[in-house]
A and B are shown apart, each in its own frame.
Chain A
């Protein structure tokens, strides 16, 4: 708790500017302004609002065109854009969520991913349970796939790859959209890798994946038990992440 308070205090201090600045902070901002005047060759910022309005009109026009062809295409188009926008603005990064706890000991991204998982768990549970109660076929059951050794191998390979490439699938796509040139390279090999994976997927499915057992938690724990178990697991992970951050912060400040 103490660590949090100190951190918050520091941030507040910085936000307030000159009001409660300590001496060290003052020297920082003083030198900052000197460095700012030093590099005078800084380009003035472009006004991006016209670009935004133009893009918005283009999005809507393309969306209407999609809607005239196939309404679900328009929905995919809208959710895709919304997802990308939120991902970019929130700096949400699944790679950072797994990497930063080990690299720096900061778990804020990991904890936000866990919260996102908790929200989506409740949402998916509600959709599936709703269908179950009404006696309809439960949607999305095609995604309940067997757990096997292949899951672990794939996860490890993906983890190594995403740290080197600087982003997972969604992160790479988002940063290519941002205009980060290096990750166009990542995207190229991401596509090549996906094609190779799709090419060999039949073999993996027949020899490894189908030998595993597919587990749909509500079959074992009941609908409410499954939701409870899932949320409990997320809460436990959240607490571990929080403890980990405090432990790491403690180690660092004692240096």
Chain B
């Protein structure tokens, strides 16, 4: 039950998604991955991918143009 923060500030579109995909495969069930992004496109495709996988997802805009995507590996 740990929480992993993945810093993707400054990374352009497919990179946060690929990093999140890799990071989540190393996590245990019940862990939460927090992906920090500031690329507006990743704000769309990271949550979309995670939801398609069936994970619980929440997005929070922590600052203007900076988001944290919470992904719970629930299966």
Give a binary string over B35-75; 1 marks a CB under 8 Å from any A CB, 0 the rest.
Answer: 00011110111001101111011101011110000101010
Quick check: is A188 within 8 A (CB to CB) of the other chain? no
Question: Which A residues are in CB contact (< 8 Å) with B74?
Answer: 24
Task: Report the tally of A-B residue pairs with Cβ distances under 8 A.
Answer: 108
Residues in chain A near residue B32, CB distance under 8 A: 28, 31-32
Specify which chain A residues have a CB less than 8 angstroms from the CB of B45 in the assembled complex.
96, 100, 104, 106, 109
Instruction: Tell whether, in the assembled complex, residue B14 and residue A99 are in contact, meaning their CB atoms are under 8 Å apart.
Output: yes
Shortest Cβ gap from A247 to chain B (Å): 12
Q: Which of A31, A105, A109, A182 contacts B12 (CB 8 A)?
A: A182
Interface string of A21-56 (1 = CB under 8 A from B): 000110111011001100000110110100000000
Interface range, A side: 35 or more
Q: Is the CB of B14 within 8 A of A10?
A: no
Bound together, the chains give a CA A166 to CA B72 distance in angstroms of 26
- Chain A proximity of B27: nearest CB distance (Å): 14
Contact, CB under 8 Å: B41 / A43: no
Contact status of A105 and B52, CB under 8 A, knowing A28-B70, A31-B32, A179-B65: yes
Give A199 Cβ to nearest chain B Cβ, in Å. 27
Asked whether, in the complex, the Cβ of B58 is within 8 Å of the Cβ of A253, the reply is no
Q: How large is the interface on B (under 10, 10 to 19, 20 to 34, 35 or more residues)?
A: 35 or more
Whether B44 contacts A91 by the Cβ 8 Å rule is yes
Q: A181 CA to B12 CA in the complex, in Å?
A: 10
Q: Which residues of A contact B11 (CB under 8 A)?
A: 182
- Given A28-B72, A93-B13: A43 and B63 within 8 A (CB)? yes
CB < 8 Å neighbour of B13 from A43, A167, A253: A167
Instruction: Give every chain B residue within 8 A of A36 (Cβ-Cβ).
Output: 60
Q: Which 3 A-B pairs have the closest CB atoms?
A: A166-B12, A104-B49, A166-B13
A residues bordering B, Cβ < 8 Å? 6-7, 10-11, 14, 24-25, 27-29, 31-32, 35-36, 42-43, 45-46, 48, 88, 91, 93, 95-96, 99-100, 103-106, 108-109, 163, 165-167, 171, 175, 178-183, 186, 248-249, 252-253
Residues of B within 8 A of A (CB): 3, 10-15, 17-18, 30, 32, 34, 38-41, 43-45, 48-49, 51-54, 56-58, 60, 62-65, 70, 72, 74
